[in-house]
Structure 1
């Protein structure tokens, strides 16, 4: 196939041209997820996720094949930009939940493969849009798509991936699946808008913060797990249990992310440390520190987060104040509470390797902080 280059990107520094016919070669299925480019995690956490991945390895390979196929387009910039993001790696945690939940519930067909790809497309689309909104320079330790290609292509390719996700939902043909996944997509957008509204506002409440987390992160975790039970035609109680597993896991995951933004090394976090602080996001570590803050401390947060008048030493001072009030440690403790809820929801399912791997995945989500 003759590759086209409608925007003249071939040969530009930092923008290796990828034609449509080269997409499959660039996204070698042996390197998705691209382990070498992923941020390091503690050995125990890595083992937990590796076990879950190994248990659904064939399904994951089929999902990756479908992802590559559905990212193809005669408009060469689409697979080029999508390839940049997907080849950067990632844990594939959300589609893994769909695959594992379906197998846990006894599903023996292949519908869950397309739905796992759908979940990953929704997630990837939101990453593209989020990085534009947040003006992020890094994604998974590599230059973000917007940094490489610009904001407009990132937004439009994100739209393309959302469209691909909805095509996969329609092809599945189940109204419950469409309701769950389309509802999650809408909730994610609401969560992102609410985060934008509460940004730079020290009056943000913990309830509002958790509403943001439920929307922008937990909603897709919940939907990813729930549709696994739906395709297996399990009763409503099992669907609800897996939905709660995904929701609680998603909240725990985001709480740890917000803690890591103030405590992690950049190589561990996979994005620029301190992004939340620089953008004035009101996250749980900040809320906990604010609740105990004295006058000068509140003045510091007002200057740096509300007015965004930041100097070179302010990030270090923010970390010092969070440490004074143990805000990061208390955030991780809260994440563990949500993790315990997630594990408890699995009790209704028969014991076995998949159930234990899903429980251990909660450990992965929380213990990334250590």
Structure 2
């Protein structure tokens, strides 16, 4: 399995600079907001989203260095992602993420909501200062999609009529939209053709969907230590993901357990057992593999380089997390 470090080798120095810059960019005058931001950006995430932006930048500018606007776009991408996580943790009442306390558990919900709002506000300001209307439109769409995805998830809790298509749309809104639109935006800043820009969008969309499906598989198959949050937490909160939706097709009693929201003793244990006994996880693996393979096909417009190869390897890495 490829490690994240070797995977992002072409942009390793760029990512180090990004981590330093993020804390400076926040620049919150209020000590609690600054402490919250510092805690978030020091939480040791994989930085997959800004890494993809930087790899696209390097893959589309083969001569000379990437521009300060590419670097700023990568920083904005990580700020938007982090802001959405802070708000997600409040909505989900999560106490840990990546094995560290969430902002809402460390401070309180009020501080967490304000910290998320502040990060969204800062990202919007820096986005406007890129002075590129197309890029502003692409990233503004992401913030709208994220809110829509969170609303979809909230309204469809414990809803066993949810379809795989509904799930994929929600997954696009919550996860893939940011990767798709920021990859396209990086291409736009490089001055690529509209055809190549659209290919970069579809690459990001498919990688993002594969990434989310794999995360949802790991919620059933990985330990709490690996996940950095309690295993099975999606099902507990009524968020029905691909493994559950596929399992429902085979295990009718699972519907009963979900619709009564696991109120009886052992309901959750039974539900987890039914998902594991079914083909739900295997079908979800096949779905993730389909999207990872589709992503790579959209990179054929790019010239061969260390960075374009790394973008191909990202799709393989996403899948490797479940094997």
TM-score bracket, shorter-length normalisation = over 0.9
Equivalent position of 1:40 in the other structure: none
**Number of residue equivalences:** 320
Looking at structure 1, the residues matched to 320 and 127 of structure 2 have their Cα atoms a distance apart, in angstroms, of 33
The partner residue of 1:333 within 272, 282, 286 is: 286
Quote the residue 1:321 is aligned against: 274
Return the alpha-carbon distance in structure 2 between the equivalents of residues 108 and 249 of structure 1.
23
Q: How far has the Cα of 1:318 moved from its partner?
A: 2.2
- Specify the SS of the correspondent of 1:362: helix
Shift of 1:50: 1.9
1:180 & 1:360 partners in 2: Cα distance?
A: 25
Equivalence map 1:56-205=2 (5 Å): 56-106=11-61, 108-205=66-163
CA distance in 2, matches of 1:93, 1:339: 15
Q: Answer whether contact 2:152 2:170 (CA < 8 A) is retained.
A: yes
4+ residue runs of structure 1 moved beyond 3 angstroms? 313-316
Of the two, which has the highest radius of gyration? 1
Where does structure 2 lack aligned partners over 5 or more consecutive residues?
Answer: none
Q: Give 1:1-370 correspondences, 5 Å limit.
A: 44-46=1-3, 49-106=4-61, 108-294=66-252, 296-303=253-260, 307-311=261-265, 313-370=266-323
* CA shift for structure 1 position 187: 0.8
How far 1:263 moved relative to its partner?
1.4
CA contact (8 A) 1:51 1:357 kept: no
Is there any run of 5+ residues in structure 1 with no aligned partner, and where?
A: 1-43
2:8 and 2:310 in contact (8 A); partners too: no
Tell me if structure 2 keeps the 8 A contact 1:72–1:78.
Answer: no
The Cα shift of 1:53 comes to: 2.3
8 Å contact 2:53–2:183 — kept in the other structure? Answer: yes
CA deviation profile, 1:185-237 (whole Å, cap 9, x unmatched): 11111111111111111111222111100100010010121111011000001
Distance 1:71 1:340 in 2: 37
1:83 offset after TM fit, Å?
A: 1.3
Normalised by the length of structure 2, the TM-score is: 0.95
How many angstroms apart in 2 are the aligned matches of 1:175 and 1:347? 27
